[in-house]
């Protein structure tokens, strides 16, 4: 399979899935933006109205955090099941096993473009005028996309080996939701070393904080860490795609016989 055929296939699978999903629901494509907005509404009600969080600009703080987190969490969750849910096709054709998680990742990323567009609109409506700092969003999106691809491929392999990983990944996303500062500010951790450790070992927390830095606080993110993360993710991506290629028959056997 040529690279062109590979991407043609990934794109076709992603677009067809999006169409099918839109057909299933009354509000169709609108769910792409309704769902993250509902999440924000729930979190806002709990943390602002009920628990009395009065941080300045809390709503936009929450929106930036939740909109970027949801891309990671939903995509990795879906990608985790992508191999086992395509057992019929995998048992019939010897094809690259990365194809299925990549199609899911692209599908979720198409959906995320609408979410990012909504984010920009909400920021402007709220009085956050675009600044030069906003250009930092491009490398941040690129690094988050790479992180999603690496985690999504890994999740697909793990679930293929043992279905139990699907439950653990779900739980892991809940853990990340609490540990990444989606609804609380990492800067509220007074101990500097704890805060640095959390940001260092949790790239999701780092990315969420960076998105807020460039969009809300006109600050430059930690470029050294961002570059380091980029290099690490490229290396991991090369490693995992090589592994999935080398062990593609083993993966097929796990999927077909499980």
Partner 1 sequence: MTLALTLSNIGMSFPLASAGDSQRHQALEGLNLEIARGERVGLVGRNGAGKSTLLRIMAGIYPPVSGTVWRARELSIALLSLGLGFKNELTGRENALLAAVLQGMSKSDARLRLSAIGDFTELGRFYDEPVKTYSSGMRSRLGFATGLLLDTDILLLDEILSVGDHGFRKKARDALTEKLTSERTVILVHHAERAIREVCTRAVWLERGSIKQDGPVEPVLDAYGNSS
Out of 40, 76, 79, 90, point to the residue binding partner 1 (CB under 8 A): 90
Q: Is 167 near partner 1 (CB under 8 A)?
A: no
Residue whose CB is less far from partner 1, 193 or 257:
257
Out of 38, 46, 89, 138, point to the residue binding partner 1 (CB under 8 A): 89
Q: Shortest distance, CB of residue 160 to partner 1, whole angstroms?
A: 13
Q: Shortest distance, CB of residue 92 to partner 1, whole angstroms?
A: 5
Angle between helix 203-215 and 137-161 (nearest 10)? 160
Q: Shortest distance, CB of residue 17 to partner 1, whole angstroms?
A: 8
Q: How many CB atoms lie within 10 A of CB 97?
A: 26
218: three-class secondary structure by DSSP: coil
| Under 8 Å between Cβ of 251 and 83 | yes
Contact positions with partner 1 (CB under 8 A) in 210-249: 249
Out of 5, 55, 113, 187, point to the residue binding partner 1 (CB under 8 A): 5
The site for partner 1, by CB under 8 A, has a size of 29
Contact positions with partner 1 (CB under 8 A) in 10-39: 12-13, 16-17, 19-21, 23-24
Report the alpha-carbon angle 75-24-11, nearest 5.
Answer: 45
Q: Is 91 near partner 1 (CB under 8 A)?
A: yes
Contact positions with partner 1 (CB under 8 A) in 93-112: 93-95
Tokens (6 digits) for 210: 């960076």
Distance CA 201, CA 188 (A): 18
Tokens (6 digits) for 99: 């194809």
Q: How many CB atoms lie within 10 A of CB 43?
A: 20
Place of tokens 């690279």: 3
Distance CA 185, CA 102 (A): 32
Q: Is 3 near partner 1 (CB under 8 A)?
A: no
Place of tokens 């929450």: 62
Out of 92, 197, 239, 245, point to the residue binding partner 1 (CB under 8 A): 92
What residues make contact with partner 1 under the rule CB under 8 A? 1, 5, 8-9, 12-13, 16-17, 19-21, 23-24, 86, 88-95, 249-250, 252-253, 256-258
């Amino acid at each position: 399979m040529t690279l062109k055929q590979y991407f043609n296939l990934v794109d076709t699978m992603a677009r067809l899935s999006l169409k099918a999903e839109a057909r299933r629901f009354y509000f169709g494509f609108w769910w792409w933006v309704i769902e993250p907005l509902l999440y924000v509404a729930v979190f806002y009600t709990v943390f602002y109205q009920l628990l009395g969080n009065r941080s300045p600009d809390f709503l936009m703080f929450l929106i930036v955090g939740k909109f970027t987190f949801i891309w990671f969490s939903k995509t990795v969750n879906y990608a985790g099941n992508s191999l086992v849910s395509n057992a019929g096709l995998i048992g019939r054709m010897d094809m690259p096993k990365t194809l299925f998680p990549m199609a899911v990742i692209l599908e979720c990323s198409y959906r995320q473009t609408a979410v990012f567009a909504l984010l920009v609109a909400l920021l402007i409506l709220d009085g956050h005028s675009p600044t030069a700092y906003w250009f930092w969003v491009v490398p941040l999106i690129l690094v988050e996309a790479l992180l999603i691809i690496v985690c999504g491929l890994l999740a697909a392999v793990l679930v293929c080996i043992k279905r139990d990983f699907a439950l653990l990944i779900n739980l892991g996303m809940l853990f990340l939701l609490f540990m990444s500062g989606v609804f609380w500010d990492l800067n509220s951790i007074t101990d500097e070393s704890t805060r640095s450790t959390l940001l260092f070992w949790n790239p999701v927390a780092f990315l969420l904080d960076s998105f807020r830095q460039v969009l809300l606080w006109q600050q430059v993110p930690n470029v050294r860490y961002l570059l380091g993360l980029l290099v690490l993710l490229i290396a991991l991506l090369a490693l995992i795609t090589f592994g999935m290629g080398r062990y593609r028959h083993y993966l097929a056997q796990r999927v077909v016989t499980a």
